[in-house]
């Protein structure tokens, strides 16, 4: 059974601090990795994707991938109250993007 | 505006009824997907389609059916055989490569 695991949280982060989210996956054949943000009652919104080992930065977000250890992480710098949401990790094992999703980590940014 | 539309936003179904959820995209994406999300859980794949007139079962296809007669459209029918259909249904689409999936706004289905 292919699995994607995330801590459910909630992860409480003071405003202005760094939020660190982790995701592990079981299928070593996984090729592409995605982070989505989902506000309560809304659909997921793509934040980042990463295909190669290392770091990828986009604004306040940094995705980190370590294929040998089978984990991908997301850092949110200078956290804002608007970052309060559930963050979903998704992993694709084939080129057509059939994803496996984690259950998500709830992030709460406190003023 | 390019995007993915789903309708209706809310849908109520009586026991024993079939209902059809609409999904349309004008992004010229090749692939389309249907997911189901239950409270506190991640997304589970119901069906996906890579090209017109072809589709494959996902992890939880029982009680659901789809069609892909046009590239832009991928409707999902929730049949009476689906025993617990109350959920948030999400449609997504992507190119083959890059394969990032983009989601529609969702349809919330409730069985009365």
User: Model confidence over B58-108: pLDDT tens digits?
Assistant: 999 999 999 999 999 999 999 988 889 999 999 999 987 768 999 999 999
* Model pLDDT for residues B20-65, shown as the tens digit of each residue: 999 999 999 999 999 999 988 889 999 999 999 999 999 999 999 9
Cβ <8 Å between A90 and B90: no
Nearest CA in chain A to B31: A96
Nearest to A37 by CA among A106, A97, A100, A94: A106
What are the backbone dihedrals phi and psi of residue B39, each rounded to the nearest 5 degrees, phi first? -50, 130
At B12 the pLDDT is: 92
Please tell me if residue A93 touches chain B, with a CB cutoff of 8 Å: no
Please tell me if residue A99 touches chain B, with a CB cutoff of 8 Å: yes
At A2 the pLDDT is: 59
- Strands B64-66 and B76-78, by their bridges, are antiparallel
Beta carbons within 8 Å of A59's beta carbon, 6+ residues apart: none
- Which of B41, B42, B102 lies nearest to residue A46, judging by beta carbons? B102
Which positions in chain B touch A44 (Cβ < 8 Å)?
A: 43, 90, 103
At A107 the pLDDT is: 97
At B16 the pLDDT is: 87
Cβ <8 Å between B106 and A92: no
Please tell me if residue B79 touches chain A, with a CB cutoff of 8 Å: no
- Per-residue confidence at A8, pLDDT binned at 50, 70, 90? confident
* Chain A with chain B: Cβ pairs closer than 8 A: 57
């Amino acid at each position: 059974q292919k699995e994607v695991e995330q801590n459910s949280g909630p992860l409480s982060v003071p405003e202005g601090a760094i939020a660190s989210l982790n995701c592990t996956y079981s299928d070593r054949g996984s090729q592409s990795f995605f982070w989505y943000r989902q506000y309560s009652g809304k659909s997921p919104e793509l934040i980042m994707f990463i295909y190669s080992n290392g770091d990828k930065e986009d604004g306040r977000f940094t995705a980190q991938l370590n294929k040998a250890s089978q984990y991908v992480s997301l850092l949110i710098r200078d956290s804002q109250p608007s970052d309060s949401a559930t963050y979903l990790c998704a992993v694709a094992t084939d080129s057509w993007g059939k994803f496996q999703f984690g259950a998500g980590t709830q992030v709460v940014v406190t003023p | 505006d390019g995007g993915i539309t789903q309708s209706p936003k809310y849908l109520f179904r009586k026991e024993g009824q079939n209902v059809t959820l609409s999904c349309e995209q004008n992004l010229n994406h090749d692939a389309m997907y249907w997911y189901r999300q239950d409270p506190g859980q991640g997304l589970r794949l119901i069906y996906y389609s890579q090209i017109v007139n072809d589709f494959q079962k996902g992890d939880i296809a029982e009680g659901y059916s789809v069609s892909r007669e046009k590239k832009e459209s991928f409707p999902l029918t929730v049949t009476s055989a689906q025993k617990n259909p109350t959920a948030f249904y999400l449609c997504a689409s992507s190119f083959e490569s890059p394969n990032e999936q983009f989601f529609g706004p969702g349809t919330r289905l409730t069985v009365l």
